[in-house]
Structure 1
Amino acid sequence: MTYVVTDNCIKCKYMDCVEVCPVDCFYEGENMLVIHPDECIDCGVCEPECPADAIKPDTEPGLDNWLQLNAEYADKWPNISAKKEPPADAKSFDGEAGKFEKYFSPEPGEGN
């Protein structure tokens, strides 16, 4: 089992999860984070820290595409191990439906 970041992270990109991860398995895209499934130790400390409820265990039904997306972009985006400020308008996007189709960016973030 691993944890995956899902679509509600897009345009919210809160980083409370990054701060508590003991193995630094988060990677930063332009407008979301992903978890590297081979680095995640399944500790689960990140899940309750996400204000957008965007982190789920991969055992939940319907997350196969998100597991694949997390794995793909964790290999392309820079690692992030320190919390940064979320976008100023993050709250306005929290819970919006269809965020992947509208806003997902394959571009990398800055990392640290």
Structure 2
Amino acid sequence: MTHVVTENCVKCKYMDCVEVCPVDCFYEGENMLVIHPDECIDCGVCVPECPAEAIFPDSDPAAEPQWLEQNRKYSAIWPNIPFKKVPPEDADKWNGVPNKYDQYFSEKPGEDT
């Protein structure tokens, strides 16, 4: 079992989750984070730290199967992010906006750490 980052992280990318992860399993895209499912130890400490409430166990109905695949795919090509960075200035504006993935998701990697 693992945890996955879902749609509400798109354009929010708060990164509070990164700070508490004991195994550094977060990877950074241009406007979203993902969790490497083979590195996540399922401790769950990231879940309450996410202001966007975008992290779920993969067994939760909110973590639709597509999210596990997205997290797996992009954690293999995006850079690892082992420490918290400053979130986007407009993160609060995007928190809770529905249907962000199809319109705003970027496949580009985040900045190398």
TM-score range, shorter chain: over 0.9
Shift of 1:63: 1.6
User: Aligned equivalents of 1:11 and 1:38: distance in 2?
Assistant: 25
State the partner residue of 1:60: 60
The reply to whether residue 46 of structure 1 matches residue 46 of structure 2 is: yes
- Spell out, residue by residue over 1:26-85, the C-alpha distance to the aligned partner (whole angstroms, 9 max, x if none): 000000000000000000000000000000000012521000000000001000011001
TM-score (norm 1): 0.98
Shift of 1:111: 3.4
The reply to whether residue 90 of structure 1 matches residue 91 of structure 2 is: yes
TM-score (norm 2): 0.97
User: Aligned equivalents of 1:3 and 1:17: distance in 2?
Assistant: 12
Matched positions, count: 112
% same residue: 67
Aligned to 2:12, the other structure's residue is in SS state: coil
User: Aligned equivalents of 2:57 and 2:98: distance in 1?
Assistant: 20
Amino acid of the structure 1 residue aligned with 2:28: E
Moved over 2 A (4+): none
Aligned residues: CA RMSD:
0.7
Aligned to 1:72, the other structure's residue is in SS state: helix
State the partner residue of 2:77: 76
- Which sections of structure 2, spanning at least 5 residues, go unmatched? none
